[in-house]
Each structure stands twice: as C-alpha cells, then as structure tokens.
Amino acid sequence: MNNFYQNNFLKLSDFSKEDIYKLIRISKKLKYDKKNSKEKKKLSNKNIILIFEKNSTRTRCSFEIACFDQGAHVTFLSIKDSHMIYKESLKDSARILGQMYDGIQYRGNYQKDIEIIAKYAGVPVWNGLTNEFHPTQILADLLTITEFLENKKLDQIKISYIGDINNNISFSLIEAAIIIGFKLYLISPKKIKSNNIYYQNIIRKIKNIENIHITKNISEGIKNTDFIYTDIWISMGVTESLQMWEKKIEELYNYQVNKSLLLKSKNKNVKVMHCLPALHLYEHYKYLLNKDIISKYNLYNGIEITDEIFESNYSIIFKQAKNKIHTIKAIIISTLLKELY
C-alpha cells in the first residue's frame, strides 16, 4: 500500500525528505504521461470538493484540471456562498462534506481551521493555502527547481527568498529547507514573527539548523545563490489599505528583485521565482496603489519585482505556475489511491 493513502496534505513538515522526493517523482511521471497522451484516468469514481475562503486563480484551476484529467468530479464551493463558518461550525461542515466527498481541498485563513476540517472529515484534506502555509505551491516549486538543476542536487542548492519573510510562502519554504537540507537565506529588514503556534514551532527548530539564515544583508543573502524567490509584499488576509502599502513599501523598497540584485548573485545562471500574483506591471498596479506612493519610491518599473526581470530569461515563474497541475495531481492520487502504479 502506498504510504500517503488516506493521509492529509496540510503542511510540509508532516512529511519526510523521502516522501517529498517521492511526490516529486510521481509528479514527473504524471507530467510526462499528460504530455505524451499516456495518462490513465484513475479517479473516475471519485468526488472532490474545493472549498475557497480566499481568491485563487492557479490553485483552483490546477485542482480542477488535475481532477478532470483523472476523471474525478469536482464541486467548487466558495465559503461566502455556503453556511460554512458563519451559520455552521467547521466541525459540522467537515463531517457533512466528508460523508459526501472522497477528498477536500481547503483554502482559508487559518491553519487551525484546516486542522479542524482534517480531524473531522474522515477523508483526505489538502491545503490550498492558509495564512501560515502554502505547501502545494512549494511542492510545485521544488519540482520546477529540479527541472533547472545543473551539476547539483536539490539538497545542495542555495535559495534566496527576499521581501516579506512573514507569510505562507516563506514559512512553507522554511519547512522545505528543514526537511530537504538546501541552503535557505531569508532576506528582509524585518525579523521572523512568532505570532502563532505553527511559527513558534518552526522558529524553535531553525535555531539549531545551520542551513537556514535570516539576514537583512542583501549581498550576503544573494551571493552565489541558485534561485531568487520573492512574493507579493502584502498577502491575502492581511488588512490591505493604502497606508499599509506605504508602510510595506517603505520597509521593503530596497529589497526589490531587479537587475542590480541579480548582479549581486554573481551567478549568470541564477533563476528567479515568484508564486504569483505579482505586481510587476505599472499599468496594472497603478489602480491598486496610490500614485503618490509609486512616485515617492520611484516604483514605476515594478513593486516586489521589476517587469524587466519578470519577463527575462532568468524567470522560471510561468513554469512554476504550470507545474502546479502535476504536483497537485500527485497529491490527490497518492492520498486517494491505495496502490499507485
């Protein structure tokens, strides 16, 4: 029996290095099979529900395509159109939906909520993003990274994550670095927050780990790196206002991914990553941000990443997005099927 069968996928630290490598291998096979029209539908008798409390483009579409490719039936449920959380407790909703469906994807605010759903659903629950973690994203990122490795193994690379180091991407990356052992530099003028139990556990762990470094020194964090990763400076679920944006920009404008930052890597093969959505195009973000803020910090070429770098050959951003289909499919198949191949 495969060891993922009937398990949840809530956060990376629930898995071993061997588990993560295995999921990457399964994703690669699924990607190959799809590309070569060899995919077999193994989930044709399965019903899957995708519950969203927050917006999504890539994760929702990847789950839907993964299910359709495998013949599963999908229900999309937006929390605001349902009774969940407001008139019905998560515990009740989980017990109801767990009887109807074979698997549940949840994207919501709090990790503790998805843990409640997983406790009561009785079927596999997959984390499509919470404030604390975004494990399906990082699995797709790891697959993408393996596709660009030259003369190094996954556990030998250096990843430099720059910008907002207190979000779901940075914390899932930290979990991945703890498990896999690659070097991770988190570059920001801010310290790591310890405002909840999940973060506290991680901070406790990384105190004794040599491969994870937190620094505000950009040169130190970027030098000889293989992959530069950034994310939007204000995540979903954080109260967004123009004042908040001004505060973030004031903190982080020196930590933008741009040409001069890439030069500091001294690696002409460095690759740039972003989970998306990204604020790189002035014509787009001028409607979101106050023009005075943009002008004050001269951010006409991008916020967390410049358009030049986003669109350059250094960027593997669109590969990351596409790979979500394959890794999410690997997670669904591995947790729903007793025997894999």
Binding site partner of 326, from ligand CP, ligand NVA, none, Cβ cut-off 5-8 A by kind? none
Among 167, 225, 315, 334, binds ligand NVA (CB under 6 A): 167
> Do the beta carbons of residue 185 and residue 225 sit within 8 Å?
yes
**Helical packing angle, 17-35 and 135-146, nearest 10°:** 70
Q: Does 276 bind ligand CP (CB under 6 A)?
A: yes
Q: Does 116 bind ligand NVA (CB under 6 A)?
A: no
Among 94, 142, 187, 275, binds ligand NVA (CB under 6 A): 275
Binding site partner of 169, from ligand CP, ligand NVA, none, Cβ cut-off 5-8 A by kind? ligand NVA
If the CB atoms of residues 46 and 274 are measured against ligand CP, the closer one turns out to be: 274
**Helical packing angle, 58-70 and 135-146, nearest 10°:** 80
If the CB atoms of residues 203 and 236 are measured against ligand NVA, the closer one turns out to be: 236
Contact track, ligand CP, 85-124, x by CB under 6 A: ----------------------------------------
Binding site partner of 167, from ligand CP, ligand NVA, none, Cβ cut-off 5-8 A by kind? ligand NVA
Tokens of 252: 């982080």
Interface with ligand CP in residues 29-88 (CB under 6 A): 56-59
Binding site partner of 57, from ligand CP, ligand NVA, none, Cβ cut-off 5-8 A by kind? ligand CP
Q: How far is the CB of 275 from ligand CP (least distance, A)?
A: 4
Q: Does 162 bind ligand NVA (CB under 6 A)?
A: no
> Do the beta carbons of residue 240 and residue 234 sit within 8 Å?
yes
Q: How far is the CB of 104 from ligand CP (least distance, A)?
A: 17
Among 275, 293, 299, 331, binds ligand CP (CB under 6 A): 275
> Do the beta carbons of residue 130 and residue 59 sit within 8 Å?
no
Query: CA separation (Å) from 28 to 21, 25, 72, 117?
Result: 11, 5, 20, 30
Interface with ligand NVA in residues 207-246 (CB under 6 A): 231-232, 235-236
Among 13, 130, 137, 188, binds ligand CP (CB under 6 A): 137
Specify the 3-state DSSP secondary structure of 82: coil
* C-alpha to C-alpha distance for 223 and 160, rounded to whole angstroms: 9
> Do the beta carbons of residue 273 and residue 317 sit within 8 Å?
yes
> Do the beta carbons of residue 117 and residue 8 sit within 8 Å?
no
- Please list the alpha-helical segments (H only) found in the chain: 17-35, 58-70, 90-100, 111-121, 135-146, 168-180, 197-206, 218-222, 242-252, 259-264, 282-285, 291-296, 307-310, 317-336
Q: How far is the CB of 302 from ligand NVA (least distance, A)?
A: 17
Q: Does 168 bind ligand NVA (CB under 6 A)?
A: yes
Q: Does 172 bind ligand CP (CB under 6 A)?
A: no
Q: Does 169 bind ligand NVA (CB under 6 A)?
A: yes
Nearest to 256 by CA among 285, 222, 291, 220: 222
Task: Determine how many CB atoms are found less than 10 A away from the CB of residue 260.
Answer: 9
If the CB atoms of residues 236 and 289 are measured against ligand NVA, the closer one turns out to be: 236
Which residues in this chain contact ligand NVA in the complex, by CB under 6 A?
Answer: 129, 134, 167-169, 231-232, 235-236, 275
Residues near ligand CP (CB under 6 A): 56-59, 129, 137, 275-276
